[in-house]
Structure 1
């Protein structure tokens, strides 16, 4: 996909069709990294809606969950993670 120079903040609009379908404007698709077949997630908060790339959103949620899990298990430093990896690798030998 060719890089497009799109500002961080802009306003665009689209028409809602009879079946509730909306064409996502090209610049918005570019910012969100959406291609044909991509999925989007709608986050509704206090009367506003954010639309995000579902794959990116899922990865962010997983990273947040894993970060919390790492802290709970004492893996708060890179050294602790490296030690765990070495331990797991040695068990497989």
Structure 2
């Protein structure tokens, strides 16, 4: 499994790189703010949402602290996606938020 820090992810966003961010937290957690442009797919729905995820771009997976995002990365990688776990999760995120 690949890992990236929130600081490195912010640098990629600022550089305009092409990728997707998937937030696997629960609804009540994302109500407190998400990374702008992130797609919300709760961990329990990742399996059933594979058809809605683009295989042609890399995906950065985030949750609150990094545990659920690691599980989501495993699911995605097993299904042929390029997925990277954002270590520290939203607890470490220091960028913009959308509500």
Structure 1 or 2: larger helix share? 1
> Taking CA–CA contacts closer than 8 Å with sequence separation of 6 or more, which of the two structures ends up with the larger relative contact order?
2
Do the structures match in fold with TM over 0.5? no
Q: Which has the larger radius of gyration?
A: 1
Scaled to the shorter chain, the TM-score interval is under 0.3
Structure 1 or 2: larger strand share? 2
TM-score by length of 1: 0.19
TM-score by length of 2: 0.18
